[in-house]
A and B are shown apart, each in its own frame.
Chain A
């Protein structure tokens, strides 16, 4: 069955960096767009970034543009989110999700279980 497993979360100080990974199985990773979506404690969902099937197209939320970078390694069936210059307001559970299309305008299904990132001094 389709599985998405995030890792790399933890506690980090403001201004530092962190890289999240999302290992997938059960589908042809290289054929689908992939997303990162986050959820701050007690808050709603916020879309973060998307990457197309081949990595040629990427889009970011304004709140992370210039600080976060989404990438993928299709040979390893793994999605990444490089997070630089982290801020307290980046504290959230980060979910990866598969797009139903090869690009970025399908729907998100399924989602991983999430990994918690806490930015605190």
Chain B
């Protein structure tokens, strides 16, 4: 059972906008940055969004992140087939002194 809660799946058609939620608590999301990782099929995870809403160089501006209280969201606009992947949120937990991940959301582009 993951400490951060994500929907197991999400879907959309090309060009649509989809959002993926990540719910935590005051000791993790409520106190620290949230980071998002993308894992394309058969590959290692890759940093997608850091520090709640910062896009690393090379990440398209179709991807955006936000945080409010103990929840965070990843939004993908202009959905493309190559966005089909698993998405994970992560945060440091001050109470547990561990890093915690969400269970992951499998995004399907219909």
* Residues of chain A at the chain B interface (Cβ within 8 Å): 35, 37, 44-47, 50, 59-62, 95, 100, 104-105, 107-114
Range of interface residues on B (Cβ < 8 Å): 20 to 34
Nearest CB in chain A to that of B56: its residue? A109
CB distance from A108 to the nearest CB of B (A): 7
Rounded to whole angstroms, the CA-CA distance of A67 and B3 in the bound complex is: 22
A-B contact number at CB 8 A? 59
Nearest CB in chain B to that of A45: its residue? B101
Interface pair A108/B101, CB less than 8 Å apart: no
Interface of B is mostly: strand
A/B interface sample: 20 pairs, CB < 8 A: A37-B45, A44-B101, A44-B103, A45-B90, A45-B101, A45-B104, A46-B101, A47-B90, A47-B99, A59-B97, A59-B98, A95-B44, A95-B45, A100-B50, A108-B37, A108-B45, A108-B47, A111-B46, A113-B44, A114-B44
Interface of A is mostly: strand
| B40 touches A (CB below 8 Å) | no
